[in-house]
């Protein structure tokens, strides 16, 4: 067994002595290689997990094959296996939107459990070998690292490949119970095929190919009234790092009214009738520790579905001036708090919509960020505003009418605001897409903005803020200024939650151009620092930024991180499950050695 896992970022450095080498003191991103010296042997992985010799690694793989069968274990031996680049056929091994070298955040093998027992057995094996394991459901977590692990050489646990059943859709209770591989498309299609759309809707994020479980545990958002996916989940089944299986909330209570044959494994036993109806159960509420965490593997999850509201109308309100952002946010806040704005609406910058409609070259020949005049020209050409507000009203016609009239009146304070309905226009392709998204119909249309630049990849910078004009303008001007310094166009949107807004800044870069990647990396690191200086923190982030952001949540000498690490060490004493995720490191890793350095300067 490996004696120590305390090696760090430079463990993969070509000049290092092997997997337990000391981290490099260089602040520059090293030219990251495919494999630490000494680990190469025919058929061995491109990147060994830290502390492993080839021989021990091979023993692990042989044992994993015994559990899962040959066809469910793939060792990554060749850079050619890192060739997938597109959302529609995503890599299960590396980050397709890599901001450091593509060969750094990579798994050594992909393991595909067939059922919950396989997951439990693999966790036991990983404990035995002290093997780092990175679970994911689909691996389309684009902009945040995709399927890639935080610790290079970890084994990837691809839960979605074989565990992809919709276990229940309950019309009366308006919920579904799903396995990790169920995507938003899958659940929507299920409702359509079973003629259930007139009763139930799902909520979808911008792009529907991700999993319901992965998105909810990462606290992703959608845009109907059920847009906060974590808020709308109800009841989980979780494999702990030890391999033990638990059910949260009411799932912990056996239900004799749901008889079943003797001899079923615990994961096969029907859940309590109220498992998907009441989140909290009895005693401490556990679910939170399995969200954005490395304390468990979610094998089943309940999600509330939205009863068909009986009527629906999407709309677009265009706002002509950049500074209208201020007034708009102060209009939006009370309406959202009162639920006149019933859903999660978005206030999108012109370039986000422009990028959905065409790449940068289709608007300009210049490389530098576009200036105000050019943005105005694009807005004019697309018949949009500098900011564009997409929302919807839900309910029977009289309800919709009254809500729409209140919304219109409020926004009419902004001179030049225009009110557009999707059925009245052929000019607004984004409105047509949003009209589907805001009623829970998944699509891939919004993938287009990443092609703003050639070989487009992206990172998300996603700080939280109060819904006020002052906060919004300050965050926007800070971000815009840094984007300009980095030579990057500002492309962003404010996603309006119940009390706050997620400012989602899409940092698009050319993934084949190291200089451009470094600029994107510099930009996000600088923005994280700037944001913290204003008391703003991010809600979610890419693998490379997790430690930096965890550092900013530093109240009382990082007491929250200490609590998280105390739980980590108690539940996962061997430190095998997703070490380093969201900045939570087990005690057998040296956090400082694993930090990802950014480029020193532009
Ligand atoms: P998507 O479903 O959008 O493709 P992923 O499957 O990539 O998203 O999941 C995003 C992240 O969420 C993963 O990297 C992992 O940290 C976490 N995650 C996803 N599914 C699970 C799961 N079933 N159990 C525990 N963590 C998960």
* Contacts (Cβ under 8 Å, ≥6 apart) of 113: 68, 72, 119, 122, 157, 159, 162, 163
Instruction: Report how far ligand 1's centroid is from the alpha carbon of 547 (Å).
Output: 19
Instruction: Report how far ligand 1's centroid is from the alpha carbon of 579 (Å).
Output: 14
Beta bridge partners of 391: 315
**Would residue 46 count as lying in a domain?**
no
Q: Are residues 454 and 391 in the same domain?
A: yes
The percentage of residues in the chain with a pLDDT greater than 70, rounded to a whole number, is 93
CB 453 within 8 A of CB 517: no
Q: Which atom of ligand 1 is nearest to the CA of 212?
A: 2
Nearest CA to ligand 1 atom 23: 298
**Would residue 39 count as lying in a domain?**
no
Q: Are residues 391 and 513 in the same domain?
A: yes
**Would residue 44 count as lying in a domain?**
no
- pLDDT score, position 9: 62
Q: Give pLDDT tens digits for 226-272.
A: 999 999 999 999 999 999 999 999 999 999 999 899 999 999 999 99
**Would residue 575 count as lying in a domain?**
yes
Clarify whether 363 is annotated catalytic. no
From 57, 104, 144, 190, the catalytic residue: 144
CB 311 within 8 A of CB 355: no
Query: Which residues of the chain have a pLDDT value below 50?
Result: 1-6, 10-40
Q: Are residues 414 and 517 in the same domain?
A: yes
Expressed as residue numbers, the domain containing 115 is 54-158
Beta bridge partners of 111: 73, 157
Nearest CA to ligand 1 atom 2: 211
Distance of CA 333 to the CA centre of its chain: 26
Tokens of 249: 């909330």
Give how far Cα 573 sits from Cα of 11, 126, 265, 568, 581, Å: 22, 12, 26, 7, 16
Q: Give pLDDT tens digits for 130-184.
A: 999 999 999 999 999 999 999 999 999 999 999 999 999 999 999 999 999 999 9
The CATH number given to whatever domain includes residue 568 is 1.10.45.10
**Would residue 317 count as lying in a domain?**
yes
Clarify whether 247 is annotated catalytic. no
The CATH number given to whatever domain includes residue 294 is 3.30.465.10
Going through 402-455 in order, the beta strands assigned E by DSSP cover: 418-420
- pLDDT score, position 15: 30
Instruction: Report how far ligand 1's centroid is from the alpha carbon of 550 (Å).
Output: 19
User: Which of 82-86's residues contact partners 24+ apart within 8 Å by CB, and which partners?
Assistant: 82/46, 82/106, 85/511
Q: Which atom of ligand 1 is nearest to the CA of 183?
A: 2
The CATH number given to whatever domain includes residue 105 is 3.30.43.10
Residues touching ligand 1 (Cβ under 6 Å) are: 135-141, 147, 159, 180, 210-211, 213-215, 217-218, 297-298, 578, 581
The backbone torsions φ and ψ at residue 89, rounded to the nearest 5 degrees and listed phi first, read -140, 75
Domain boundary among 98, 129, 158: 158
The CATH number given to whatever domain includes residue 467 is 3.40.462.10
Instruction: Report how far ligand 1's centroid is from the alpha carbon of 239 (Å).
Output: 14
From 150, 539, 561, 595, the catalytic residue: 539
The backbone torsions φ and ψ at residue 214, rounded to the nearest 5 degrees and listed phi first, read -60, -45
Exposure string of 110-136, with b = 16+ CB inside 10 Å and e = fewer, is bbbbeebbbbbbbbebbbebbbbbbbb
Q: Are residues 210 and 348 in the same domain?
A: no
Clarify whether 539 is annotated catalytic. yes
Q: Are residues 387 and 521 in the same domain?
A: yes
Q: Which atom of ligand 1 is nearest to the CA of 215?
A: 3
Is 80 buried (19+), middle (13-18) or exposed (0-12) by CB count in 10 A? exposed
Q: Are residues 392 and 525 in the same domain?
A: yes
Cα-Cα-Cα-Cα dihedral sign, residues 569, 572, 576, 578: negative
- pLDDT score, position 42: 66
Distance CA 494, CA 503 (A): 4
The backbone torsions φ and ψ at residue 23, rounded to the nearest 5 degrees and listed phi first, read -65, 150
Distance CA 506, CA 53 (A): 40
**DSSP conformation class of 567:** H
- pLDDT score, position 602: 79
Q: Are residues 523 and 589 in the same domain?
A: no
Instruction: Report how far ligand 1's centroid is from the alpha carbon of 152 (Å).
Output: 17
Q: Are residues 559 and 532 in the same domain?
A: no
Q: Are residues 518 and 374 in the same domain?
A: yes
Instruction: Report how far ligand 1's centroid is from the alpha carbon of 293 (Å).
Output: 10
- pLDDT score, position 534: 97
**Would residue 182 count as lying in a domain?**
yes
Q: Give the helix/strand (H/E) hosting 375.
A: helix 372-382
The residue to which tokens 């950014």 are assigned: 598
- Please name which of 189, 220, 218, 219 lies closest in space to residue 202, comparing C-alpha atoms: 189
Tokens of 525: 């690191």
Nearest CA to ligand 1 atom 3: 210
Distance CA 594, CA 104 (A): 12
Pocket test for ligand 1, best of 137, 150, 165, 186 (most atoms within 8 A of CB): 137
**Would residue 43 count as lying in a domain?**
no
- pLDDT score, position 13: 38
Q: Are residues 564 and 531 in the same domain?
A: no
**Would residue 152 count as lying in a domain?**
yes
The residue to which tokens 């949540």 are assigned: 553
Q: Please give the tally of structural domains in the chain.
A: 4
What is the pairing mode between strands 175-178 and 387-394?
Answer: unpaired
Q: Are residues 486 and 396 in the same domain?
A: yes
* Contacts (Cβ under 8 Å, ≥6 apart) of 366: none
SS3 at position 180? coil
Q: Are residues 380 and 513 in the same domain?
A: yes
Nearest CA to ligand 1 atom 9: 214
Distance CA 51, CA 589 (A): 11
The backbone torsions φ and ψ at residue 362, rounded to the nearest 5 degrees and listed phi first, read -75, -10
Distance CA 96, CA 86 (A): 7
């Amino acid at each position: 067994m490996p004696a120590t896992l305390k090696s760090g970022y430079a463990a993969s450095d070509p000049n290092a002595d092997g997997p337990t080498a000391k981290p490099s003191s260089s602040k520059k991103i090293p030219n990251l290689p495919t494999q630490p010296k000494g680990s190469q042997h025919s058929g061995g992985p491109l990147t060994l997990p830290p502390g492993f010799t080839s021989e021990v690694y091979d023993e692990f793989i042989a044992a994993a094959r015994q559990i899962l069968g040959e066809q469910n274990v793939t060792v990554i031996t060749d850079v050619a296996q890192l060739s997938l680049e597109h959302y529609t056929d995503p890599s299960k091994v590396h980050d397709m939107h890599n901001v450091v070298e593509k060969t750094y955040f990579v798994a050594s093998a992909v393991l595909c459990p067939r059922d919950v027992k396989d997951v439990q057995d693999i966790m036991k094996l990983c404990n035995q070998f002290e093997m780092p394991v990175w679970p994911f459901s689909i691996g389309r977590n684009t902009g945040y690292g995709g399927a890639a692990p935080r610790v290079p050489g970890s084994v990837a646990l691809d839960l979605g490949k074989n565990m992809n059943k919709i276990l229940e859709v309950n019309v009366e209770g308006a919920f579904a119970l799903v396995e990790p591989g169920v995507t938003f498309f899958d659940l929507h299609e299920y409702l359509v095929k079973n003629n259930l759309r007139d009763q139930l809707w799902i909520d979808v994020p911008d792009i529907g190919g991700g999993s319901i479980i992965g998105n909810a545990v990462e606290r992703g958002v959608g845009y109907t009234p059920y847009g906060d996916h974590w808020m709308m989940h109800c009841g989980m089944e979780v494999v702990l790092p030890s391999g033990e299986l638990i059910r949260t909330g009411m799932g912990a209570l056996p239900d004799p009214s749901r008889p079943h044959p003797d001899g079923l494994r615990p994961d096969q036993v029907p859940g309590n009738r109220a498992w998907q109806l009441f989140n909290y159960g009895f005693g401490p509420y556990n679910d939170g520790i399995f969200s954005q965490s490395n304390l468990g593997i979610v094998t089943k999850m309940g999600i509330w579905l939205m009863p068909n509201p009986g009527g629906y109308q999407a709309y677009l309100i265009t706002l002509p001036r950049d500074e209208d952002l201020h007034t708009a946010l102060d209009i939006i806040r009370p309406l959202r708090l009162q639920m006149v704005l019933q859903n999660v609406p978005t206030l999108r910058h012109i370039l986000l919509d422009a990028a959905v409609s065409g790449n940068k070259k289709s608007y300009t020949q210049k490389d530098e960020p576009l200036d105000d005049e050019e943005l105005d020209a694009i807005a004019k050409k697309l018949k949009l505003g500098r900011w564009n507000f997409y929302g919807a009203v839900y309910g029977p016609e009289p309800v919709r009418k009254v809500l729409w009239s209140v919304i219109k009146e409020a926004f009419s304070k902004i001179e030049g605001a225009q009110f557009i309905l999707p059925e009245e226009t052929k000019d607004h392709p984004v409105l047509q897409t949003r009209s589907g998204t805001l009623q829970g119909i998944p699509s891939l249309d919004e993938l287009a903005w990443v092609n703003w630049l050639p070989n487009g990849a992206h990172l998300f910078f996603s700080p939280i803020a109060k819904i006020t004009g002052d906060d919004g303008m300050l965050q926007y001007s800070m971000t815009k200024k840094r984007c300009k310094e980095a030579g990057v166009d500002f492309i962003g949107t404010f996603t309006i939650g119940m009390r706050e807004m997620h400012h989602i800044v899409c940092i698009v870069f050319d993934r084949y151009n190291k200089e451009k990647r470094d600029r994107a990396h510099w930009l996000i690191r600088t923005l994280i620092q700037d944001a913290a200086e204003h008391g703003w923190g991010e809600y979610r982030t890419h693998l490379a930024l997790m430690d930096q952001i965890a550092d900013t949540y530093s109240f009382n000498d990082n007491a929250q991180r200490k609590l998280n690490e105390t739980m980590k060490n108690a539940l996962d004493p061997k430190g095998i499950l997703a070490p380093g995720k969201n900045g939570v490191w087990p005690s057998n890793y040296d956090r400082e050695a694993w930090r990802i350095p950014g480029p020193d300067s532009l």
